[in-house]
Each structure stands twice: as structure tokens, then as C-alpha cells.
Amino acid sequence: MTMELNQSDLKYLELLSTKYRTIEEASTEIINLTAIQNLPKGTEHFISDIHGEYEAFQHILKNASGAIKLKIDETFGGYVSPEERNSLATLIYYPEEKLELIKKQGFDMEPFYKKTLHRLITLLSVVTVKFTRSYVRKRMPKEFAYIIEELLYGDTVAHGKENYKETLIDTIVETRVADDFIIEMSNMISRLAVHRLHVLGDIFDRGTDADLVLNALTEHHRVDIQWGNHDILWMGAAAGNTACIANVIRICTRYDNLHTLEVGYGISIRPLLTFAMATYGDDPCPNFKPIVSTKDALAASDFNALAKISKAIAVIQFKLEGQLIHRHPHYEMDDMPLLHKIDFEKQTVEIDGKHYPMNQISFPTIDPADPYKLTEMEEAVVDRLRDAFLESELLQNHVRFLFSTGSIYKCYNNNLLFHGCMPLNEDGTFMSIMTDDGPMKGKEWFDYAEKLVRTGYFSGNDEPDKQRGVDFFWYLWCGYKSPLFGKKRITTFERLFLEDKETWKEPKNPYYTLMDDEKIIMDIVEEFGLDRETAHVMNGHMPVKKGSNPIHANGRAFVIDGGLSKAYQKTTGIAGYSLIYNSYGFVLAAHEPFESKEVAVREEKDIVSTRVAKQDIYKRILNKDTDPGKRNQEHIEDLKKLLYAFRNGLINEKQ
């Protein structure tokens, strides 16, 4: 075989030869990569709208949306009872807790250990069938790697070692390391059951433990995140956007979730509390009482005080948002600020030319002549809060993680992933968005929006686009044409101060009604460079109401926000959807509400994952058919060129 290699090729191959120094090393890597290419693709797991529900999120990760239980049933269904299979599944999800409970129940541990170790080895062999031995070996716990490898791959019959595995298991039990071994094996099965995790946004708000969710995600072996509007709100707060900071705090008070701020991220709201009590001390603050959605009602603190904090920060929020909209006419959100439309004498506010009575008119910090100007005390509070967000080390670490692993959208294995929507006109064409840099639409708009917020967070304070980028975080949170929001307006003011629920409506972008049209979905995926005949769209953001179908456009689009957050479960009737994409196709699972880890361990009560959709393929997908597989193939071709260069003396081997 003859190859034409130019100077640029040789320069690159010389660099490649520093890693693969000899013909033997290059050949070995080609063989290894070619073997990987012909294995079935790894399982992808899609989840969305976690909203701080850490325990439920952890359980969905541990059971891989039912994938592990399915493997157990397929492997042991013919000879192991359903009760024992449930027990094995619970052991894999929560090995430490389940082992402790089994011991308390007085089990004869020696036969239990032996039976369980045999089953875990069998299940691990099933889970690892998609991976090379080298890949699996690298993910084994170091202290048990040799033993696991012998149990997993040892050909005992061919080598006349029929009792070898049995002796290994007996020794594990006799040396009293069975507990540790079972824990490591269970964790390994959970990790290898899913090759890649896709989080389609909204990690923050509602629940109390977004910080714990992010801690877990930072430790995940392979994850990407498509930012949700609640994520971008916290990211904007971490960038110093004061309107985002005010929204974050108001939502935390609304859902009795100051725990995330104060305990999770060490952000004190004491300046705001002092100001609120001094300013609104005699105000009953109707409509500002928190929605109780957590176990610890701010350590049983006074809900009246929390209501005063909520009103204080809401008024500050409306002022800051008015200032921000005034700075950016391109946002096309001039109808959102309402403070200047309040008639304080008549106690009404004008919206779209109509006057509505307000349920309260106590605004001691608003000057009707200049309603969006902060008072001196409000400015001091905002400055202190901004410093607290900027100085929270854990929050900044988490936001940098969201930037490093995340994006507004992702194209992966011919699927388009995003959180909210593709802004569309009523006729299904891409909506044009006016920006400081001209009109944008489609993929160009998504790319522009992401570049702008990255500039806002990472660029220096003296760079010209810094403030524009910082401000833009807020637009992505609630902007009319934001791909993360998907509604014409956000009606926070109306919900707090008006009783007429007609004013509360937030009209959705046409995307949400047009996504049943397969042609429109095909146009969207083609806009992002995907195959219009086979690609899919996955998004979250909109809780799927009872009786609604999360599958659209003849199976070409999935909405997987079914209500993991407890705040949404009255509307959805379930606790979220998740999607599994394995080498045979797609499986959409609906989850029943999760009670607690304690109940799951004690009663072996799983999140019930009901298969509501299954989309099979005719030919099993191999690694070579995936995006990483295509990159691997390019690497194989480069290595073949390196071999040619070695063998023809164009590059010397590095001995």
C-alpha cells in the first residue's frame, strides 16, 4: 500500500510518534480501537429538570431508569424469584445500607455472601459485554482488581481449575472482606450500566439540594449538561448579574429553600433580612408566604419573616429588571416592567391598555416619579448580596463545571439535545431575534447566545462585551425569544399583585404545538447539521401534564420533563420521565414518586419505571456508528499512516 504524505502530515505524525513510539505500539492501538469499534454502543441515559431533588435523582442514576432491574430480570428470571431479584436490585443501588439491614434481620451471612457474590459476578459479565477487557479493568477498584478479573474472565474449565472461582469466593468470605467486595461490585455495575449521562437542564431551584446534585455530577464518569433557564439564572448570579441574584433569592424564599443558599453555598442573606424587617415590619405581605415544599421549613423559622424577605427582594428585582431592559432595547421586553404603570391613588396597574386592581399597594421604597431607582439602603443590600455570590467558592466551582461540561445545546449520535425550545413563528419558520450584532435565528442564535454568556462570565472586567454578556444571562432566564424559556412573557409581578388569573398566563412559543409536525422537527435537526431522516430532538422544561403524550412527531421528538420536582407532581401525576438509548433503540420510562432512600432500602421499593415507549431498530448499533466511533476511526486512519511512515523510514521509531 502506498500513501501520499505531505509535510503537514509528517509534522503531525512526528508528534503522534511521541505517544506511539514503535510499530508494535501503533499496531496494538489499531487492533484495540478496531475491536472497540465493533462492540455494541454504550447506553446513553437522558434526564431532565432535577430541580434539587437529590435523593430521587440519585435513585434514578443508581437504577439507570430501570435498566439494571431489566438486566437482573433477563439474567436471573428463569430461576430466581421476583422477591430475590428485587432484593438484589436494592443491594446494587444501596449496598452499604442494604447489607446493614440484612445483618440486623439475622440472616445467615455466609451462604448469603456466596450466593450474592456469584450473582454479582454473573450480572457484571452481562453489563460489561459492551466493553473491552482493558476498559473494564481500568474501572475496577484497585484493591480488588485482580480478583474481579479472575472471577470475570478466568476460563476455569479450559485450565482444569473447576474449583478455582469457588475457592476465590470462599476466601473472600473467610477473610471478611465480602462486604467491601459486594459494595465495590455493586458500584461498578451501576457505573458501567450507563456509558454516558445527558442532563437536559434545570438542576437548580424548587428542591433543597441542587448543590448535592452538582457534587454528584462532578464525580460522574461521563456527563454533559444542556443548561436550563434555572441553571442559567444561577450562573448569571455567580457572574454578578444583580437581577439574576434577586430572582434566585426570591425563588428560594418562595419555595422555602434558603437552605441551598445559606447551607449549600454559604451565602448569607442577613443584610436582606435586616433591611426587610426594617422596611416591611408592619406589612403582612400577602401572597408572599412561601410554598412549603421541603422537610425543614428553614429550621422552623417564622414564615412571616420569610414573606417580608420575599417582598423586599421582589421589589428590588422589579427595579433591577426595569433598568436592565432599558439598557437593552433589543430584548423587545418593554411591556414587562410595570412599576411605572401603577396608579398609586386608584391602586391599579395598566397592562396591555387595561387597568387591573392590585391586591396591595404598600411600596415604601418606590418613588412614583422614578420607580426603578434603588433606594440607598436597597443599593447597599444589593452590593452585599452580589459580593456574597461572587465570593462563594463552591458556587463558582459548580458554575465553572457547568461551563466545562455544558452548553445551550448538544448534537450527539445524531440527536439534538436542548432544554427549552427552538424559537419558531406560527408557520414553523425560525423566529428572527434582533441583537446588538444584527438579526439571528436557528442554530446561529443558539451559538451566539452561548458565546455571549461565556464572554460575560470569563472575560476581564475591562473587556468591552463583559457587561453585555453578564446582562444577557438574565435575558436567557426569561427573555421572550430565549431558547431556554420558550414563553412570551414571565408574569411574576402579576401573580404576586393581581387576583385576575387571566393576567398570569404565559403564552408558549409555537414550538410546543408545532413539535408534533414531523417536517418541522426534520427542519430543526437539519438546521443543526443532523440527518433529517433519522435524527431526534430531546428536550425538557415543560412538565408533561396528566394525559399528555411526551412523544411527538411520530417518535422523532421527546419531552422528558415529567415532574421529578415535588412542586410539579400534582400537575403531572408522576415523578418524571427519563430516556434510555441503547444499542437496540430508545426506551422512555415514566417514574412514580420516590418516597425516600430509607423506604427504598427497607421495603425494596423502587421508583417504578414503566416503559411508555420503545423504539427499536433493525440493526444493532455498534460503536463505529456513533460520534465517538467516527472520531476513533479517524484516529485509526492516522495510526495507519504512522505505521506506513515507520515502515518506510519517513519517521524513525522511538526506542
Query: Which cell numbers hold the place of 378?
Result: 436597597
Average pLDDT over residues 190-209: 89
**Higher model confidence: residue 164 or residue 168?**
168
By 3-state DSSP, what share of the chain in percent is helix, strand and coil, each rounded to 5?
50, 10, 35
- Look at residue 571 and tell me whether its pLDDT is greater than 60: no
Instruction: Please tell me the predicted confidence (pLDDT) of residue 152.
Output: 83
This prediction's pTM: 0.89
Q: Which tens digits make up the pLDDT trace of 120-166?
A: 999 998 888 888 888 888 888 888 888 888 888 865 555 556 677 88
Q: 221 is written with which cell numbers?
A: 464518569
DSSP-derived 3-state class of residue 45: strand
Percent of the chain at pLDDT > 90 equals 54
Residue 332 burial by CB count (10 A; 0-12/13-18/19+): exposed, middle or buried?
middle
pLDDT above 70 (res 564): no
Quick one: average pLDDT of 186-196?
Answer: 88
- For residue 18 the three cell numbers come to 511521541
The three grid cell numbers given for residue 167, joined into one nine-digit string: 475457592
Q: Are 372 and 270 in contact (CB under 8 A)?
A: no
Strands of the sheet containing 536-539, edge to edge, are: 409-412, 415-418, 536-539, 557-559, 551-552
Q: What confidence tens digit (pLDDT) does each residue in 45-55 have? A: 898 889 898 88
Distance CA(217)–CA(197), nearest Å, equals 9
Residue 336 confidence (pLDDT): 94
pLDDT digits (tens, 9 = 90+) for 308-341: 999 999 999 999 999 999 999 999 999 999 999 9
Give the pLDDT band (50/70/90) at residue 9. Answer: confident
pLDDT in tens, 369-426: 999 999 999 999 999 999 999 999 999 999 999 999 999 999 999 999 999 999 999 9
Residue 618 is predicted with a pLDDT of 62
Query: Would you state the pLDDT for residue 299?
Result: 44
Where on the phi/psi map is residue 567: left (φ > 0), alpha (ψ -120 to 50), or beta? alpha
Q: Which of 46-50, 105-109, 248-252, 622-626 has the highest mean pLDDT?
A: 248-252
DSSP characters for 337-405?
A: --GGGEETTTTEEEETTEEEEBS----TT--TTSTTPPPHHHHHHHHHHHHHHHH-HHHHHHHHHHHHH
Q: Is the pLDDT of residue 302 over 80?
A: no
